[in-house]
Every structure is written in structure tokens, then in C-alpha cells.
Amino acid sequence: MRRRGFLLTAWPWRVFGYLLSTPPVTLVAAVPLALLGLPLLLAVFSDISPGERAVMAVLGVLLIAGLGPLAAVPLATLERRRLRLVDPRPTRSGHRRPPEAGAISWLRTRYSEPVTCRELGYFLLLVTAVPVLYGALATALLFQFAALAAPLVLRNDDVPVVLGPATIDSPAAALPYVIVALALLPAVPYLLALVAGGQAALARALLQRGPGERFQAELVEVAHSRARLVDAFDAERRRIERDLHDGAQQRLLSLTMKLGLARMDLPPGPAADSVADAHQEAKQLMTELRELVHGIHPRVLTDRGLVAALGELADRSPLAVTVQADVPGRQPRHVESTAYFAAAEALTNAAKHSGADKADMTTRWDDGVLILEITDNGVGGADPDRGTGLTGLADRVAVIDGRLLVSSPAGGPTTIRVELPCSLNEPA
């Protein structure tokens, strides 16, 4: 509106189109809201007892609040598209994508979002306030065009023209009103644009994503992206483990067996000694490769689950580890992998830095949370600032919305507690 030559641009026509398309949208929104609010209307306009009136009013409010969003959500999508007529800026919906497919997940997501309540509030205003505003606007325009048409009406008809408190009975008496109406005629597009701009500002404020919701959505997307990266990393670990186990490890095993047979066939001498050394190096390399493969992603974790993998981890640890596990069945794959590598990191730190010679490892499932605790009898004083082990472990646990709690006073003992949310109904 502040632009020079506003009347010569396409904006007045876009404003006119926006205002002209508002009544049909209002009517479409009024039908479901009127049906849902029928008990409320009966409570207001029917002759019933006060108790029945209160019951009907509460029922109407509950119906509008409970079922109104089902009508408001699709209408809000239409309204955001229609808003482009008078506001070229993009209007983003504040709705999130449901985490699962299906009507139940969609309803649960929509009814938990603040933007759904704002959309319902916008259409309640659209149904109640917009008709009053548009009625006042139509009345003002009707007076202006009636003043312009008054001389033509009075020339062919002896019936006077009534303009509010004024009564005009001749073309000469209508001349001042015609002059004022002509002078105000260029202001009509500005009046229409003012009304459309106010409605558009209200629609943008209530129908688009707010700053807090935008940041929340970005945070959710970052969390999902981080989880996808971890899943991809775990899948890559399993692929490398499978390739090493089925490829390089099998070929190295075949080489070791051939060197052993060649050692037996050769007579004593320098050649036999060289083959024996090569055979010993191949067996040592075989052991190192087996440890490497196990460290990448242990096959027992994939085949037999977390409890068996923790037992094998305890057997391989240089510490005397006692394992107590009370986990019903298999857990989701990402939970088992995170718990296993958390236990491996904790036992490695205890063996390298704490001076411990034994540790207790306990895992259990408690009301949707997998709890893993590792306690060693070392000197304590574990500090994340002195290394990246605990920090990396905390980051890995945080990816799946878990918690890492560390208690390590000077003199020991050190207890590491990992809490991982999971459900037994999730696929393993």
C-alpha cells in the first residue's frame, strides 16, 4: 500500500480476489463448526432449564474442541495457499510429520501440536468476526455507491433516497454527496487492502509455524539426522565385519593351513625354519584379525543378542568381570549395539586407567528403559576432560535419547550407568 502507483499495479485486483474468496471459505468453515456447536446454540437460544443449558453448553464446547481440529487442519492448508494472493512470503505449516503411518499416529501428532489449536482459533474468528467486519465494509461501500447513484435514481423516481440520517429528495440535493463519494473513490482500494492486510496478518500469525516451533522442528530434524548417521555407521561396521570375516579371514585361514602343511613336508633346514616363521606370523595375524573383526561388530551380538555378547565381552576382558543380566528377549538393534559398545568402552577404560582387577556388570530392563551399570574397584577419579572416551560414549548414548551417568570419586569405585529408552515391541 505504501508503494507509489499502488492503484496501477495488480495488487488491488489480488486484494479484491482475496476478499471475494473469503465468504466461501467462511461458509465452508461455518458448516462443520455450526454442526459441532449445535448443542451450544441450543443452550443459548432454546427455552430449557439452567441445568440442561449448562450441560448443552459444555457438550457443545467439548465437541468443538475435540472434533473441530479435524475440520480446521485441511481448511488451514487451503487458507495458507490462499494467503499467497496478498502475501508473497512463504507460509510454512507448523505441523510435524507423524512418526508412523496410520490414522492413530496422525491424530496423536496433530492433537499434540500448538498450531492445531491456533488453526481452530483462526476459523472460530473467521466464522464469527469476519462476517461482522465484512458487513461493515459492505455497508460503507453501499453508502458510497448509493451516493453516486442517487442523482440517477431521483431523476427517474420521485421516491427519496435515504443515506443514513440524511434524506435526499432531488438531484440538486444529492450533488454534495456525489462530490464526496467521488473524492473518496480512490480510497476504496486502500480500504479493501487494509482489511485484507489485517486478515492476512492474523492468518499468518495463527496458521504458520512460530519461531519456537521452527527451532523445535529443526532440533527434531537434527536428532533424526544424527540417528540416521549412527544407523548408517552401524550398517557400515557390520558390512566391514562381514567382508573381513567371510573374505580376508577365510583366505588367511587357508594360507595358515597351507603353510602348516608345507612345514610338515619340508625337511629340517633353513627353508623349513623360514616356513615355520611364516606359519607363526600367519597365526598371529589371524589372531589379530579376529580381534579386529570382533572389535568392529561382534557376530555374537547379531546372532544371539546383548546378553550373550556381554558374557563373551566379560570373558575376553583382562578384568575379572561378573555379569548379571535380566533382559527379556531381544532389544532393538541400535539399543543392543549402543549398550554393547558402552560396556566395552567402560571395561577398556577400567583396565587401562583405573588400576582395577575386577568389575561388576549389570543389565536389566525397567519400564521401557534398558539400564546398564559397570562398577570397577579401581582408584576412581574418571574425568571426561582428560580423554575422549567418556565424551564419545556420552555422545553415542545421546543419539538415541539415552543418558550416561558417571560416579567416580577419588579412591574409587567408579560406576558408569547407561540408560537407553526402548520398547520390547520395537523390531530387533
Residue 95 φ/ψ region, left for φ over 0, alpha for ψ in the -120 to 50 degree band, beta for the rest:
beta
Average pLDDT over residues 342-355: 82
How do residues 239-279 score in pLDDT, each as one tens digit? 666 666 566 667 777 777 777 777 777 788 777 778 777 87
How do 403-407 and 166-168 pair as beta strands?
A: unpaired
Structural domain spans, the chain: 6-207, 212-297, 300-421
Query: Is the pLDDT reported for residue 427 higher than 50?
Result: no
| Higher local confidence (pLDDT), 387 or 281 | 281
For residue 244, give the C-alpha cell: 573381513
pLDDT for 156: 67
Please state, in angstroms and rounded to a whole number, the distance separating the CA atoms of residues 91 and 214.
12
Query: Is the pLDDT reported for residue 428 higher than 50?
Result: no
Average pLDDT over residues 407-420: 86
- C-alpha dist (Å) from residue 233 to 189, 238, 311, 334, 399: 60, 9, 24, 11, 12
Average pLDDT over residues 33-39: 84
pTM above 0.75, yes or no: no
Q: What is the band of 45 on the pLDDT scale with cuts at 50, 70, 90?
A: confident
For the chain, give the percent of residues with pLDDT over 90: 2
Query: Is the pLDDT reported for residue 166 higher than 60?
Result: yes
CATH superfamily of 300-421: Histidine kinase-like ATPase, C-terminal domain (3.30.565.10)
How do residues 197-235 score in pLDDT, each as one tens digit? 888 888 888 887 655 555 555 566 666 666 666 666 666
pLDDT for 309: 84
Query: Is the pLDDT reported for residue 341 higher than 70?
Result: yes
Instruction: Give the other-Cβ count within 10 Å of 223's Cβ.
Output: 14
Most trustworthy range by pLDDT among 19-28, 40-49, 404-413: 19-28
pLDDT for 411: 81
pLDDT for 312: 84
Please state, in angstroms and rounded to a whole number, the distance separating the CA atoms of residues 356 and 358.
6
How do 369-376 and 358-366 pair as beta strands?
A: antiparallel
pLDDT for 297: 60
How do residues 87-142 score in pLDDT, each as one tens digit? 887 777 777 777 777 888 888 888 888 888 888 888 888 888 888 999 899 888 88
How do residues 273-302 score in pLDDT, each as one tens digit? 787 778 777 777 766 666 555 555 677 777
Of 59-73, 113-127, 328-342, which range is least confident?
A: 328-342
Most trustworthy range by pLDDT among 74-78, 149-153, 303-307: 74-78
Of 129-143, 265-279, 339-353, 378-392, which range is least confident?
A: 378-392
3-state secondary structure of 293: helix
pLDDT for 290: 61
Q: Name the helix (H) or strand (E) containing 203.
A: helix 187-207
Please state, in angstroms and rounded to a whole number, the distance separating the CA atoms of residues 111 and 106.
9
pLDDT for 49: 82
Mean pLDDT, all residues of the chain: 79
Please state, in angstroms and rounded to a whole number, the distance separating the CA atoms of residues 383 and 385.
5
